[in-house]
Structure 1
Amino acid sequence: MSLSESIKSPQQKVTNVLKTADQQLYLRVHISDAGSTVIPVSESMTLTEILLAVCLKRGLPASTLKLSVVYKTGTEESEVDQSRTFGDFKNVDYIKIINKSTSKYLTESILNLSGCNIGSMESVNVLAKGKSKEDIRSGMFPKTRSAFTTSSGQGSQDERGTSSPSLLKKIGIAAVEIFGQVEVKEPSQDGSDVSETKLYQQRMSNGSASISSGGLDSDRRLSLAQTQSQLSQPQNQSFYLASRKSSFVNITPQQSAISFNATLDKLERDSNTPKPDFLTKEGATLKQLAVRVNRSRANTDGIQEVHKRGSIDSNFILADDKPDKQYVNLIVTLPNFRSVTIRAPTDLPMDAILNFVCSKHGVDFETHTFHRNDGKEIVVEMDRTLGYVAQELKIEEVFIVPEDKIYRSTYLSEDGNDVMMLQTIQGRLQVMAGTPQKLIARLTDEEGKNDHDFIETFLLTFRYFMPADECFRHVVSRYNCVPPNNPTEDDLAFYNKMKLPIQQCVASILEVWAAGHWHDFALSSELKANLIQMAQEFMYNDDISIRSHTPRLLDIIEKQTHKYEEMYSYYKMVERKGKVLESMLLELSPEILSHQICIHNFKLFRNIHPIEFLHQIWGSDREMTPYLNFFIDRFDKESYWVATEIVMQKDLKKRVNVLKTFILTTKACQEANNFFSLFSFMSGLGLSPVSRLKKTWEALPDKAKQVYEELEKIIDPSRNMKNYRDLLAKAVPPIVPFLPIYLKDLTFMNDGNSKMVEGMINFEKLRMMGNRVKDIVSLVAVEYKGAAMPHIQNYIAKPPVEKNMAKLKEMSLECEKP
């Protein structure tokens, strides 16, 4: 073994153990009551090393925590010597992290790095032996496996999933938190191993950790010590990063300190590893936009003044006036208290009306506006149309007064071109339209970060005008923003002021995007790889709040990947062709059968990603709507299931019982708010091979006939399915809806509103569609109670289904000849 291999810092020790442990054991660690993680371990690892590995991965303050061992018998041992090795414990089920002082289980809030307070840290930060940036930041995210699954000798790397270095290297952490004291072997001057070890004691001085050793010159000293006030900032991380050229380190607060930022800069300068290609491209130009109100002064053609006798001034009568054009009259009182009556088209804005009256009667348009006098608000928004003012607000008279105009709409312009339109709604500005680039700018700036409605709507709907990979590139370009060419002093001042807040917003938006809309990354391995690279890129930033996004974003990627793998596996299990189970319909009561159907269909409905509803309306490829397609296919399966079960029975008495069971099951589904199965079952009962069985329907008990008639009224399509809509409005979750109603509404919104407004994306249209999708998603907030019965679930998933109508008719004719 070489000298460099024998002299290892604790960080290197943990990293190497994790590497070799990849072929041994996997241990589940419960981090909080909200979740857990799985890490590779070896029997030689101590509990301290296991805790350290998890804390570095999750960014937790390890000095205040310890591990508790839970055995397979259910017993728990919380007072454990943390220096014991993992091999000392037998029959371990899992371990969990608890507070060192209170021995209480962690809560979910501690997982948020931005909330970690490291001012009370009592640990020493020992710098790891110098590594290149390539060593520290290379590798792919490890794939999570079940606890205590032996992976050695079980297939190739591709069969087991991508093998990769641990997150200790991925997130670039080269500093290790040490408990109490640590033995560190040091090299002798001649390069040979030194048998003796030096004991480094932790010392706290003025709230800063320090490690001392003698005989060092000034240029070989590094310090990460900060003042107590700096360390106690809520956005500080619980770990630091530094590199050194020698294992001899002297860290004291009195010496010339190198801050974390300066150390990171040094690490970047010393490394020749280039950033990923897509991150080095030219960034978006950061330039302040001009603000203007909507003062279009629309053409006044068509406005006419009505004289006292009711005649119209001929000077303002248009030769091409269309008789079908809508006009209304409005009384306008001038500043001299003289009143005139104006007749004008309903689609003209109020500032055009004011401009006409002012020019005709010698009033200065620039200094006057309209006020109303109907006992309500006096303000008249000048970009409202006359039709809205007269017909919606019921205003019959307005007054011209010398005050500033109020406009509902505000425009942002760049180089003389409008790039965004906003309107004041309920006291706050909302985006109504914008160019794609400026919508992304709004998403990643200070004004947009608190506009949660805009963020949710944008991330849900942007695929309408831009694919996900292009949107990602634009977001990244905002992170790499640059000042404009030949910038003025104002341009540079604006750039220097806004660059860091924009980068912080970009980091936050990527977290929100990945956590709430993983669908984009699940469908594109390239986009997922770019997201991982971007998470690593945050560690290069000077701002500690941005660096803290690295472990959080990587953790989101891991959780979402695992979640989608589970969902995909479930659908593959349900989809794969297997033996169709024999009918057990008559063995089940309608109540039990309907409840199990509710549980089954609710799970399918819950797994549909909100984006899929919009992709369905916009005509995207089927691969963009995998779970929605499966849910829609389920509707046909249930319909044909009903018909198949009925015509399978050649005995009249059994066939009547099957028909009655389906009718009562349908009623039970309706009462349980499973409207999806209500419509699918009624559709199956209405298929011609079933409806033609007159003897079967006549033999049906009167109660079942009455129930069927009631169900027919609910699904009546007249008046835009009013009966069903009324029933849905009164329903209380859990609910499995009949989706065509929602899809029809989305189609009307999509077709009835233009894509562009004044050359910009009609964002109000997307907001309306997004709100309708949110209505659908809100239905999954409450699940059905009760346990799923596996044997019934298997039957529901693989019922006897004959989709060939010719075959069904043949079977029907065998039951009852014409």
Structure 2
Amino acid sequence: MPQTPLLTGLLVSSGYNKNLYQNQTKEEGYSNAGLYYHDNTLVSGSLEALIHHLVPSMDYYPDMTYSFTFLLSSRLFIHPYELMSKVCHLCVEQQRLSDPQADKMRIRKMAPKILQLLQEWTETFPYDFRDERMMRSLKELTQRLASGDELYRKVVQQMIQVLIRKLTTLSHYEEALVKINATATDRLTVLKAKPQAMLSICNDPFTVAQQLTHIELERLSYIGPEEFIQAFEKKGPLDNDKSCFSDHKKASNLEAYVEWFNRLSFMVATEICMPVKKKQRVRVIEFFIDVARECFNIGNFNSLMAIISGMNMSPVSRLKKTWSKVKTAKFDILEHQMDPSGNFYNYRTAFRGATQRSRTANSTREKIVIPFFSLLIKDIYFLNEGCSNRMQNGHINFEKFWEMAKQVSEFMVWKKVECPFEKDRKILQYLLTAPVFSEDTLCLASYDSEGPENNMEKDRWKSLRSTLLSRV
């Protein structure tokens, strides 16, 4: 977790030794009521004991992996604002910070640890603080810690300023998404209103793949780690705990990212079905095969899969005469890499190679790892479904959440990579806002390009023409 230089200095001056406190966590854990360890690993605990385990003391500071895992998973059992309230209460009462006669040296030793915990929370889960109750508790505790000490006051001011900037940036991003979606909302439902073609904007597959990577990395960067957990709240936790998130948006940035995948798939299908001439359709298919291949080389597996999905849509795949003219060798290789058989064995192998390259990379370009996002969500979902949130004795099953946190932590690394490619505003605008055919219009365009082959297709074609062309 990044630290501000000022806070780092305070931790050193207060005698804070992170490794010491992490080691003591294991030693002390066995004696903590309500926590259960196996082979020096915390495997379960009561909610109250886990909350106590999060709060620093004079001779203890929680391991960062524990802090992240608990802050991530606790929202399935308690509102973040309720957790913050409990943490603040423990910090004040347990450490006697409310006692005006308390030893100033004690406060001086405790304040940096508490501020460090708050900083980890605000940096890793900033969206929690969109709740006014969270922000109020944060300010009350930090004001108490900073009272009468200029150094701590500067740390607090810096931390809150960074948090507010993050929340402001998020609001601007969400407003921009609304505008983009409004521009692209009206899907084309009639063939006469044909959109501009991608190849008239840019015919260089390398450039298009790079612009797709810009979009992917930007949208990834705004997904909060908690959204993976909160996305499961729709059906409630496995142990039927009361829903904690019925009163606000849970996974809006995650959902926006999934919608982007769907848009890209439909855009590719639209671009292929749109041209009247077979020669033009062949050119478009081969162009997007090259774009997909470059996405693979970059490490942008999400755009790669979206493009393949668009090409595999039935209105596209049925264009046999068109496909007979396509040089499909490159496409066959890509399809093999993304073959779903064996639980996407080939993709997972290629993805492991990309992540290994990213870990040892010297250049930003080599650091790029953009997972096939729907599969990532599916993996986390099945991990959630496959294990109960609680043990038979009522303890929280922390083994499960260690594993979930591990997967989300990897995502946190991938989403922080800065895109190294130069932006092309015209191409980005087209990719984000160009109107695309609806599913029905795609079918009609496909039949108009290559006529129906059987009675079922003929009936479908007549029905679509009657329905869609009557709107002109």
How would you bin the TM-score normalised by the shorter chain?
0.7 to 0.9
**As a proportion of its length, which structure holds more strand?**
1
Q: Distance in 2 between matches of 1:448 and 1:811?
A: 67
d(CA) in 1 for partners of 2:404, 2:214:
28
Find the aligned partners of 1:782 and 1:109 in 2 and give their Cα distance.
18
- Say whether residues 1:717 and 2:352 are aligned partners: no
- Does structure 1 conserve the Cα–Cα contact (< 8 Å) formed by 2:272 and 2:316? yes
Question: In 2, distance between residues paired with 1:435 and 1:543?
Answer: 36
Aligned 8 A contact 1:674 1:736 in 2 = yes
Q: Which of 125, 150, 173 does residue 517 from structure 1 map onto?
A: 125
Name the amino acid aligned to 2:350. Answer: L
The partner residue of 1:747 within 356, 381, 385 is: 381
Q: Paired residue for 2:216, among 601, 604, 619?
A: 601
Distance 1:748 1:699, change over 3 A: same
Return 5+ residue gaps in structure 1 as ranges: 1-107, 118-232, 236-292, 294-406, 414-418, 485-494
Query: Within 2, Cα distance between the matches of 1:444 and 1:649?
Result: 63
CA shift digits 1:377-425 (9 cap, x unpaired): xxxxxxxxxxxxxxxxxxxxxxxxxxxxxx9993533xxxxx1113343
| 1:426-459 Cα deviation digits (max 9, x unpaired) | xxxx432222222121111236515122112222
Aligned equivalents of 2:4, 2:63: Cα separation in 1: 26
Contact 2:7–2:116, Cα closer than 8 Å, also in 1: no
Matching of residues 390-401 of structure 1 within 5 Å:
none
Which structure has greater helix proportion?
2
- What does residue 226 of structure 2 align with? 611
Distance apart, 1:748 and its partner CA: 2.8
The 1:478/1:498 distance shift into structure 2, 3 A limit, reads farther
TM-superposition CA deviations, 1:638-690 (whole Å, max 9, x none): 11111111111112211221122112211221122111011111111111111
What is the CA-CA distance between 1:749 and the residue it aligns to?
Answer: 2.1
Q: Which residue of 1 aligns with 2:463?
A: none
1:540-574 CA distances to partner (integer Å, 9 max, x unpaired)? 4x777765643233333333333323433443343
Q: Select the residue among 445, 453, 463 that pairs with 1:811.
A: 445
Contact 2:36–2:45 (CA under 8 A) maintained in structure 1: yes
Summarize deviations over 1:99-119 as a string: whole Å, max 9, x none.
xxxxxxxxx9985156389xx
Structure-2 change in CA distance of 1:482 and 1:677 (3 Å): closer
2:127·2:167 contact (CA, 8 Å) conserved in 1?
A: no
Whether contact under 8 Å (1:412, 1:420) holds in the other structure is yes
CA distance in 2, matches of 1:111, 1:638: 42
- The AA in structure 2 aligned to 1:814 is D
Task: Please name the residue that 1:659 is paired with.
Answer: 285
Match of 2:32 in 1: 412
Distance 2:122 2:78 in 1: 17
Please say if residues 181 and 433 of structure 2, whose CA atoms lie closer than 8 Å, have aligned partners that are also in contact: no
Please, which of 196, 199, 203 is the counterpart of residue 588 of structure 1?
Answer: 203
CA contact (8 A) 1:408 1:424 kept: no
For 1:816, the aligned partner's letter is: E
Output the CA distance in 2 between the equivalents of 1:499 and 1:421.
31
CA distance in 2, matches of 1:440, 1:800: 50
Is 2:171 aligned against 1:565? yes
Deviation per CA, 1:494-553, whole angstroms, max 9, x where unpaired? x9998886665433322221122111112x23322332333333344x777765643233
TM-score, length of structure 2 as denominator length: 0.76
Q: Aligned equivalents of 2:302 and 2:317: distance in 1?
A: 21
Partners of 2:69 and 2:231 lie apart in 1 by 17
**Cα distance change, pair 574–449 in 1 and its aligned pair in 2 (3 A):** farther
Letter in 1 for 2:203: L
- The answer to whether the 8 A contact 1:742-1:776 is kept is no
Distance in 2, Cα, partners of 1:768 & 1:561: 28
1:442 aligned onto 2:49:
no
Task: Indicate yes or no: 2:155 matched with 1:532.
Answer: no
In structure 2, the CA distance between the partners of 1:483 and 1:508, relative to structure 1 (3 Å rule), is closer
1:102-138 Cα offsets, whole Å, 9 max, x none, are xxxxxx9985156389xxxxxxxxxxxxxxxxxxxxx
Structure-2 separation of matches of 1:498 and 1:539: 14
Contact 1:409-1:423 within 8 A present in 2 as well: no
Q: Is the 8 A contact 1:460 1:770 kept in 2?
A: yes
Q: Equivalent residues in 2 for 1:12-161 (5 A)? A: 112=6, 115=9
Q: For residue 458 of structure 1, what is the amino acid of its counterpart? A: F
SS of residue matched to 1:623: coil
1:504–1:681 Cα change, 3 Å: same
Are the equivalent residues in 2 in contact too, given 1:753–1:765 (CA < 8 A)?
yes
- Aligned partner (choices 444, 461, 466) of residue 78 of structure 2: 466
Match of 2:115 in 1: 507
CA RMSD across the alignment: 3.3
Give the secondary-structure state (helix, strand or coil) at the position aligned to 2:32.
strand
Q: What's the counterpart of residue 276 of structure 2?
A: 650
Could you tell me the percent identity over the aligned residues? 25
1:409/1:528 CA distance change after superposition, 3 Å: closer
8 Å contact 2:301–2:370 — kept in the other structure?
yes
SS in 1 for 2:419: coil
Post-superposition Cα deviations, 1:320-361, rounded to whole Å, max 9, x if no partner, equal xxxxxxxxxxxxxxxxxxxxxxxxxxxxxxxxxxxxxxxxxx
For 2:369 and 2:341, the matched residues in 1 are separated by 23
Which blocks of at least 5 consecutive residues in structure 2 are unaligned?
15-25, 97-102, 187-194, 235-244, 358-366, 453-472
Instruction: Please give the alpha-carbon distance, in whole angstroms, between the structure 2 residues aligned to 1:482 and 1:512.
Output: 20
Matches of 1:449 and 1:661, distance apart in 2: 55
What residue is the counterpart of 1:779 in the other structure?
414
Shift in CA distance, 116/738, structure 1 to aligned 2, threshold 3 Å: closer
Amino acid at match of 2:53: R
CA spacing shift, 1:449–1:460, aligned 2, 3 Å: same
Deviations 1:676-720 (A, max 9, x none): 0111111111111111111111122xxx31112112211211111
Larger Rg: 1
Structure 1 letter corresponding to 2:442: L
In structure 2, how many angstroms separate the alpha carbons of the residues matched to 1:624 and 1:736? 22
In structure 2, the CA distance between the partners of 1:570 and 1:449, relative to structure 1 (3 Å rule), is farther
Quickly say closer, same or farther: Cα 1:721–1:712, change in 2 above 3 A.
same
The equivalences for 1:178-193 within 5 A come to: none
Mapped partners of 2:343, 2:375: distance in 1: 9
Whole-Å Cα distance in 1 between the matches of residues 301 and 4 of structure 2? 41
Residues 679 and 738 in structure 1, CA contact (< 8 A), matched pair in contact too: yes
Change beyond 3 A, Cα 1:513–1:717:
same
| TM-score of the aligned structures, taking structure 1 as reference length | 0.45
Q: 1:569 to 1:689 in 2, by over 3 A?
A: same
Give distance in 2, aligned partners of 1:764 and 1:110. 32
> Residue 55 of structure 2 contacts residue 87 of structure 2 at CA under 8 Å; is this kept in 1?
yes
8 Å Cα contact 1:648-1:811 kept in structure 2: yes
CA contact (8 A) 2:227 2:254 kept: yes
Residue-by-residue CA offset, 1:8-64 (whole Å, 9 max, x unaligned):
xxxxxxxxxxxxxxxxxxxxxxxxxxxxxxxxxxxxxxxxxxxxxxxxxxxxxxxxx
* Counterpart contact for 2:142–2:156, Cα < 8 Å: yes
The answer as to 2:394 corresponding to 1:768 is no
In the other structure, the counterpart of 1:348 is none
Residues 338 and 347 in structure 2, CA contact (< 8 A), matched pair in contact too: yes
Instruction: Flag the 1:603–1:712 CA change in 2: closer, same or farther, 3 A.
Output: same
**Which one-letter code corresponds to 2:54 in the other structure?**
L
Deviations, residues 85-110 of structure 1 (Å, cap 9, x unaligned): xxxxxxxxxxxxxxxxxxxxxxx998
> Which among 409, 415, 437 is matched to residue 802 of structure 1?
437
Cα distance 1:640–1:438, how it changes in 2: closer, same or farther (>3 A)?
same
User: Which structure's relative contact order is higher, taking Cα pairs within 8 Å and 6+ residues apart?
Assistant: 2
Code of the residue aligned with 2:342 in structure 1: it is R
Distance across 2 between alignment mates of 1:438 and 1:658: 60
Q: Structure 1 801/816 Cα, relative in aligned 2: closer, same or farther at 3 Å?
A: same
Q: Runs of at least 4 residues of structure 1 off by over 4 A?
A: 108-111, 495-504, 542-549, 578-581
